[in-house]
A and B are shown apart, each in its own frame.
Chain A
């Protein structure tokens, strides 16, 4: 079946470095992609989204890149801080109003 998946389950970066979290999707009909951050004991928090008619979108310290040719999505976090430590999920719009989530990547920021 079609699914959203993440390349790496864990990512460890040093404070101040840039982080890149990758995501592959297989549904070529998907036209909306979202990144969420989930801290321990909390619900997913919206970070940034991108529509399929774009290939890049920037937010505060975050950039999402979309490569439709290879069905790849990435989240770049600039100057990673300890508060960025969390699990990051990519999601794509599914049928109707459903979101299909990837398994998540755990980001650990070390001092």
Chain B
């Protein structure tokens, strides 16, 4: 079974721009979660989607948004980029049947904001 895939793997943007990241979950998984990883703050939960609905949201500003499609693929968008948005953005998928489902992570998208 193929794992979680994320595209692109690397991105360089400038302040003020917006960016869209994509995540394809493991086949059959319906839940997709997004995390931001930085050296200072570690791994922080952004949001989780199931059946095209956001079920959970972390403590991030409204510039961070996401969506999920009917095939469970998900995208996240960051608008008006700031230098502090430079991070590794990780996507994780799970069956979505319960909060103790194992979450499997993709390789991440490394975003650099200049």
- Cβ contacts under 8 Å, B108 to chain A: 42-43
Report whether A43 and B42 are in contact in the complex, using a CB–CB cutoff of 8 Å.
Answer: no
- A31 to B, closest residue via Cβ: B100
A17 and B94 alpha carbons, distance in the complex (Å) = 34
What residues of chain B have their CB less than 8 Å away from a CB belonging to chain A? 4, 31, 33, 35, 42-45, 48, 50, 55-56, 58, 90, 92, 94, 96, 99-108
What residues of chain A have their CB less than 8 Å away from a CB belonging to chain B? 31-32, 34, 36, 41-46, 49, 51, 89, 91, 93-104
A99 and B101 alpha carbons, distance in the complex (Å) = 11
Report whether B107 and A42 are in contact in the complex, using a CB–CB cutoff of 8 Å.
Answer: yes
Among all A-B residue pairs, the 3 with the closest Cβ atoms: A43-B105, A96-B56, A101-B43
Report whether B33 and A43 are in contact in the complex, using a CB–CB cutoff of 8 Å.
Answer: no
Report whether A93 and B100 are in contact in the complex, using a CB–CB cutoff of 8 Å.
Answer: yes
A49 and B102 alpha carbons, distance in the complex (Å) = 8
- A94 to B, closest residue via Cβ: B45
Across the interface, A93 reaches (CB within 8 A) one of B58, B90, B99, B107, namely B99
Q: A42-B107, A43-B105, A43-B106 are in contact. Are A100 and B100 (CB under 8 A)?
A: no
Report whether A46 and B102 are in contact in the complex, using a CB–CB cutoff of 8 Å.
Answer: yes
A45 and B105 alpha carbons, distance in the complex (Å) = 7
Could you pull out 12 A-B pairs where Cβ atoms are within 8 angstroms? A34-B102, A43-B105, A46-B104, A46-B105, A51-B100, A89-B42, A93-B99, A93-B100, A96-B99, A97-B101, A98-B48, A98-B58
A101 and B58 alpha carbons, distance in the complex (Å) = 13
- Cβ contacts under 8 Å, A45 to chain B: 105
- A89 to B, closest residue via Cβ: B43
